Amino acid sequence: MAKKNNAPLTPAVLHILLALSTGERHGYGIMKQVEADSQGKVKMGPGTLYGSMGRMMEAGLIRESEKRVDPQMDDERRIYYKLTGAGRAALEAELKRYRGVVAVAEGRLAYGQ
């Protein structure tokens, strides 16, 4: 995965990590959280979500949690996912990288005014 060589995370991976940063979620819950976090600007479909999550699990960024009933989803059994320590570290590193980029941009804009 991207963090092995300190490369930036893909937008999908970043959004999934953010969605899981506050706790376990099932796939549909992750999709809805991404949409809410992005104020409707990012709508992640199942192909992108589950493809990204498969690669994230292989990289050790997330893992499956236990199956359990979600009362808001017609009592279906759902697989929940959660961040691993490596996933939290990758998210923190990416956010640090973003803060650095924003600081550079703000500095350049300040000189341009």
Give the domains, in start order, of the chain with CATH numbers: 2-106 (1.10.10.10)
d(C-alpha 92, C-alpha 27), whole Å: 22
The position carrying tokens 């992005």 is 38
Residue 67, pLDDT above cutoff 70: no
> pLDDT band for position 70 (50/70/90)?
low
Three-state secondary structure call for residue 63: strand
d(C-alpha 53, C-alpha 55), whole Å: 5
Question: What torsion, rounded to 10 degrees, do the Cα atoms 9, 15, 17, 23 define?
Answer: 170
> pLDDT band for position 16 (50/70/90)?
very high
pLDDT computed for residue 68 by the predictor: 67
Q: What is the pTM of this model?
A: 0.83
Residue 36, pLDDT above cutoff 90: yes
d(C-alpha 32, C-alpha 6), whole Å: 28
